[in-house]
Amino acid sequence: MSKPLALTELVLRDAHQSLLATRMRIEDMLPIAEKLDKAGFWSVESWGGATF
Residue 49 has pLDDT above 70, yes or no: no
Non-local CB neighbours of 29 within 8 Å, separated by 6+ positions: 12, 16, 46
Residue 50 has pLDDT above 70, yes or no: no
pLDDT in tens, 7-45: 888 888 777 777 667 777 888 888 888 898 899 888 888
Residue 41 to residues 12, 21, 23, 45, 52, Cα–Cα distance (Å): 13, 25, 25, 10, 26
Q: How confident is the model at residue 52 (pLDDT cuts 50, 70, 90)?
A: very low
Domain residue spans in the chain? 8-44
The CB density around residue 48, as the number of other CB atoms within 10 Å, is 15
